[in-house]
Structure 1
Amino acid sequence: MKSHARVVVIGGGVAGCALLYHLARLGWTDVVLVEKAELTSGSTWHAAGNTPHYSTGYTTSRLYLETTRFYERFARETGEDVGFHKCGGVRLSINRDHEAEHRRAVAKAHLLGMDMEVIGPNQARDLLPYMELDGVLSACWTKEDGYIDPSSITNALARQARALGAEVYRHTRVTATVQQNGHWRVETDKGPITCEIVVNSAGLWSREVAAMVGYDFPIVPMERQYLVTEPVAGIENLKAELPILRDISAPLYMRQEQKSLLLGLFDAEPVFWAADGTPPGFVQELLVPDLERVSHAFERALARVPILGKLGVKRVINGPIMRSPDGNPTIGPVPGLTNYWMNAGYFAGFGLSGGLNARLAEWIIGGEPEIDLTAFDLRRYGAYATGAFTIESTRAAYVHEFSVAYPNEEHPVARGARVSSLHGRQKELGAVFAARNGWEVPNWYAPPGVVAEEEPSYGRTNWFAHVAREAMAVQRTAALFDLSSLAKFEVRGPGA
């Protein structure tokens, strides 16, 4: 095993292996990955491997597209069979706000060069012949959606990284990380490795690895379940592989798994697991299935896809997966530590790992990414992101995932971490607050007699007239702005 390297990546899941490959591809070949067990141990091995494209966020949509394009290019250029199925995806609209959200997503997708469109119910059933249309107004059809084999792509990335000069050390447990003389010393049970840069891609153990350097990483594992049915008679005679069905009203997703159906069922509330720390001996294990707690989703699945009621269940997968407070991956340099990076929290790991880790590699090598990664930058969380904040925010973000995503919507949970000295007076004046880096910041003021609460909408919201009044007041008279939430720079020295 090497005793020196430029970069040490800790963790051999899909995120760690993707980063290792992209670093080596960009010319940084003096890089190593250490994994305490086998590659894919943790969350990667039991994932469904879906590769979606739909998102209400521009950067997320772009990275979804970059990821699937990367998988195709990687397989073509290396000859690796990564088990990538580009079967398409159908996302149902069951109310007018869903339709409005889908139309906005389609417009953004076209800007990115993505093949996405809104289709009618009958077109959706042509694509998914087992589906009932009760309550369906329309659907969002994405031709490039699909899924990939978790083990195949992860191991292929590691193989190709090694072919470029990187090294992978399995069954190598990290026991400490210490910074000495501008370098990092990564202690393992096989000996130390001195390096310039450490990247924590440890997934389920990212909190424990971060704690070695004194960083309290705001992330928590939760349980995720899906089941695979017995084979569906005649499914092999369909003209094409079934696209992935997504119905957030259930909530569920369903796709073809060889001759069977794979059904992902979501809990009404998140079920957290090992919130106080991942057991050190937990390796490539599953949790006890509990279909009773997702019975509400299963009943709706039976109504949407009646054939499910005629199929036996071949297996149920219940495994832990990491989730950040807002549901996005958490990457970037850790404040206060030189050359220590995080790369964890992939709730949709296979949908983002290929593209996001290419951008992270650019960032590590070049000093900045070529696109705006603010939505994923770990510095979006400050010291206020305590354990209670993480649990409360993660719960709210998870539940909201199955609702309409309104523009600029604020969530009334995990709030009040930071307030200015004017907060009480602002509240008296009818302020409706937004959360900005933990601070409570007035978004607008409700006049007397108006409830100080925003009503989210895809149309003109209830704050429109009040904000117009405020803007006019600023133009005609004057205004006082509370800038407590903004960063302050202290300049010292001669001439300051």
Structure 2
Amino acid sequence: MSEIAGHARVVIIGGGVVGVSALYHLAKAGWTDGVLLEKNELTAGSTWHAAGNVPTFSSSWAIMNMQRYSAELYRGLADAVDYPMNYHVTGSIRLGHSKERLQEFQRVAGMGRYQGMDLDILAPDEIKSRYPFVETHDLTGALYDPHDGDIDPAQLTQALAKGARDLGAKIYRFCPATGVRRENDEWVISTPKGEIRCEYVVNAAGYYAREVGKMFGRDMPMMVMSHQYMLFDEVPEVEAWSKENRRKLPLLRDVDSSYYLRQEKNGFNLGPYERNCKAHWITPDDPMPEDFSFQLYPDDLERLEWYINDAVERVPLLGTAGLTRTINGPIPYTPDGNPLIGPMPGVPNAFEACVFTFGICQGGGAGKVLAEWVMEGETEWDMWACDPRRFTGFCDQDYAIAKGMEVYGHEYGMHFPHHAWPAGRKKKLSPVHDRIAALGAQFGAYNGWERANWYARPGDDTSEEATQTWARAGSWFEAVREECLAVRDAAGILDLPGFSRFKVQGQGARDWLNTLITGMAPRPGRIGLGYFADARGRIVTEMSLMALDEDVFFLITAATAQWHDFEWLMKHLSEGSGIVVEDVTEVFSCQILTGPKSREILSGITDADLSKPWLTHQSAQIDGIWCQLVRVSFAGELGWEIHSKVEDTPKIFDAVMKAGTPLGLKPFGMFALNSLRLEKGYRAWKGDLSTDYTILEGGLGRFVKWDKPGFLGKMALENERQRGSKRRFVTLTVEASDCDAPYMSTIWHNGEVVGETTSGGWGHRIGKSIALGMLRTDLSEPGTRLDVEIFGERYPASVQADEPLWDPANERLRA
């Protein structure tokens, strides 16, 4: 007789803090028939050896939401489930050594205030009042977070487990999942205690997630790092301070030196993230063991020597304490350091909640998000930063290892907007990569595709260090200005490989698309934007719909949206409909030719009808080579997108460059395109366009066809239209200094927070700093004066009219 329940609504594989939190949140939301399978004891993976720090700090809005929620949950969890826990809310101090680091702190403090967290910036002479044992002579300041602290990971996990069990969920320990199969639209999970059928399955297997993923035919983008932290003996001065103040010292992080230092009882816990780091289980000589439960790696203190010495110089009291124990355990990493939470790519009714580098502080929020994904198919917060579909097929194991080690070695690194991280590069190359490299292209990676960010001129500083700034400064800024002005005055060409594109065809394809988009699919020969909403009317994605025939379309979308958008289409395609959706991303490439002389450039090398109006497309020949000429321009000038077969792209590029160079044609990059699109108010995906906003809030009402029979999200949008939107998308000009507004900068009015920016940058054609953002509706009238907080300083801003800042009547675009 089977020892395990025969059926459950959802089965979670993995009994660390994240898996148990997911079970708890599912049960709390009403799905009480969930089951969790753990191959050993609960917490046997990374959870058991985790240090247990609970920071709220993050420069990611989604991650900050998760961590804030976790901290709030943990503060009341012991009483909620009647389980005692050691949770010390000590506060934390992040030390800054540079102007740039303080700017980062100011930005995060602004984001935190918007989420209701009272983060504060300390001057160097204020730090000692909160942490008397620290040396501050070389510091520029610090970030203080009163909500930070540490928790016992095992107690936290057991508390969540008790809460889940009390609600009816079941946990099977020492019961590994040994196989999965799909049968009658259900999952069948094999275990030593029998089989269990379920509607939904969740991979929450921590650093074993890749092995579990293989059961589903999924190669997870992850690797495993060795992370060490050291416990030191008790120190009388620490004990005396704690007794006098009746609390623990704040958790100290020296992020520029790359370690944290925490009071552990009356001693210390030191945890470095060293540059000379070490990955595990990545070669045939070092395979992943079948079971590593409650095990550690051998100590490897030599690679920590610099960090230990630096910490002793920072807190000399640490040097008086004896080292009592070293913990060296496995921690999983994705290529960007964020976890995987959301639908398992390409696998029905399967989800991932795994590869958490900071699982303790994110576990509570992750459980909430995962429960929403499973139960509702969507989440309260836009979670693209953690969505598994952000990593597509190019993310092989070599890439995951290279990027994981880079992220670990720069765990506290600042992510400057114009800096390109060097590891794991050249995964996908444009067919004209060598040509544009010879022209000075400085590359960035977009879904693995190498695209030119900007073009260096002779003598320009192209070092990594030159882009490690928040400011408008350095060679790249002046080069980008020249590129934008070339597009304005003559013409520019942008090599743009990697557009995600899907061919949709079959009887009824047009009608089907019209049920998914808020507007109407264009007629043959035309191209238009289609906005896809979810059931709540929120912005899922934006695609360009190119109609080749009545029921034949090319759908073109962002490079990074490839798996996300393809799955959205497939999710809503009925079986047996006869409509075929094919991903043809790898077949075609694209170049943008734009500027007032672009028609003149093309006129001598193509047979196309260049008088065809804006938003049309045509098959044509350029220098005898087939292409699809599309009369659109994200730069907001007269221009065309030139779509061609990958193998034909170099010949077309050469022909355009030869014809255009005498007329002033210059190559331009993604930084210039960003500047140009801001001046037109064009939205960018997962910044300006995200599920944090509805279609109407996003200012996209003109793309809604209210009188068509129905479309996804119509009811929610009609309700919103009747009651009115509480916030509205706006364009602002900002009287900024040398920094433009980054994503999620706070907008103020009369001392009150009234909105946030969704993107920002410098407009070279208009000579102004621009911010796109979301603002309280009653303040969205043109001319309204506001303030935008940029790295801690508030700068005057003005709401602009609901038209582009550049060429408001689109005369140049339609010329």
Q: Same fold (TM over 0.5)?
A: yes
**Gap change, CA 1:310 and 1:457, over 3 Å in 2:** same
Give unmatched runs, 5+ long, in structure 1.
Answer: none
Task: Output the TM-score relative to the length of structure 2.
Answer: 0.59
Deviation digits for residues 332-388 of structure 1, max 9, x if unmatched? Answer: 222221112111111111111111221121111111112111111111111111111
**Gap change, CA 1:428 and 1:268, over 3 Å in 2:** closer
- Distance in 2 between the 1:250 and 1:474 partners? 43
- Distance in 2 between the 1:475 and 1:83 partners? 62
1:81-480 mapped onto 2 (5 Å cutoff): 81-233=84-236, 234-239=240-245, 240-276=247-283, 277-451=287-461, 455-462=467-474, 463-480=476-493
Question: C-alpha displacement at 1:452, in angstroms?
Answer: 5.1
- Counterpart secondary structure, 1:45: helix
- Distance in 2 between the 1:137 and 1:148 partners? 30
Letter in 1 for 2:148: D
Higher CA-based Rg = 2
Letter in 2 for 1:143: P
Larger relative contact order (CA 8 Å, sep ≥ 6): 1
- Counterpart secondary structure, 1:197: strand
Deviation digits for residues 209-258 of structure 1, max 9, x if unmatched? Answer: 11112211121111111122222212442313200000023322111122
- Counterpart secondary structure, 1:491: strand
Question: Retained in 1: the 8 A contact 2:277–2:303?
Answer: no
- Distance in 1 between the 2:279 and 2:145 partners? 31
Letter in 1 for 2:251: I
**Gap change, CA 1:301 and 1:448, over 3 Å in 2:** closer
Question: C-alpha displacement at 1:52, in angstroms?
Answer: 0.8
How many matched pairs? 496
Letter in 2 for 1:407: P
- Distance in 2 between the 1:115 and 1:300 partners? 30
Match of residue 66 from structure 1: 69
Question: Retained in 1: the 8 A contact 2:81–2:159?
Answer: no
Deviation digits for residues 305-327 of structure 1, max 9, x if unmatched? Answer: 11122112222211111111111
- Counterpart secondary structure, 2:45: coil
Question: C-alpha displacement at 1:433, in angstroms?
Answer: 1.6
Question: Retained in 2: the 8 A contact 1:250–1:296?
Answer: no
Q: Which stretch has the larger CA shift, 151-160 or 226-235? A: 226-235
- Distance in 2 between the 1:193 and 1:378 partners? 25
Q: Which stretch has the larger CA shift, 167-176 or 310-319? A: 310-319
Question: Retained in 1: the 8 A contact 2:87–2:149?
Answer: yes
Question: C-alpha displacement at 1:62, in angstroms?
Answer: 2.2
Q: Which stretch has the larger CA shift, 438-447 or 185-194? A: 438-447
**Gap change, CA 1:444 and 1:268, over 3 Å in 2:** closer
Letter in 2 for 1:88: G
- Distance in 2 between the 1:422 and 1:486 partners? 15
- Distance in 2 between the 1:321 and 1:399 partners? 13
Deviation digits for residues 80-100 of structure 1, max 9, x if unmatched? Answer: 323221100000011222122
Question: C-alpha displacement at 1:478, in angstroms?
Answer: 4.0
Letter in 1 for 2:263: Q
Task: Output the TM-score relative to the length of structure 1.
Answer: 0.96
- Distance in 2 between the 1:476 and 1:319 partners? 58
- Distance in 2 between the 1:175 and 1:313 partners? 41
Letter in 2 for 1:238: E
Letter in 2 for 1:53: T
- Counterpart secondary structure, 1:256: strand
Question: Retained in 2: the 8 A contact 1:432–1:445?
Answer: yes
Question: Retained in 2: the 8 A contact 1:432–1:446?
Answer: yes
**Which of 484, 488, 491 is the equivalent residue of 2:501?**
488
Letter in 1 for 2:212: V
- Distance in 2 between the 1:43 and 1:335 partners? 24
Match of residue 30 from structure 2: 27
- Distance in 2 between the 1:27 and 1:473 partners? 59
Question: Retained in 2: the 8 A contact 1:433–1:442?
Answer: yes
Question: C-alpha displacement at 1:197, in angstroms?
Answer: 1.1
- Counterpart secondary structure, 2:413: coil
Q: Which stretch has the larger CA shift, 175-184 or 274-283? A: 274-283
Q: Which stretch has the larger CA shift, 185-194 or 210-219? A: 210-219
Match of residue 12 from structure 1: 15
Letter in 2 for 1:244: L
Question: C-alpha displacement at 1:203, in angstroms?
Answer: 0.9
Q: Which stretch has the larger CA shift, 7-16 or 263-272? A: 263-272
Question: C-alpha displacement at 1:68, in angstroms?
Answer: 0.4
- Counterpart secondary structure, 1:174: coil
- Counterpart secondary structure, 2:500: coil
Letter in 1 for 2:243: N
- Distance in 2 between the 1:377 and 1:312 partners? 43
Q: Which stretch has the larger CA shift, 421-430 or 199-208? A: 421-430
Question: Retained in 1: the 8 A contact 2:242–2:249?
Answer: no
Question: Retained in 1: the 8 A contact 2:273–2:408?
Answer: no
Give unmatched runs, 5+ long, in structure 2.
Answer: 508-549, 552-815
Q: Which stretch has the larger CA shift, 173-182 or 10-19? A: 173-182
Report the RMSD for the aligned CA atoms in angstroms.
Answer: 1.7
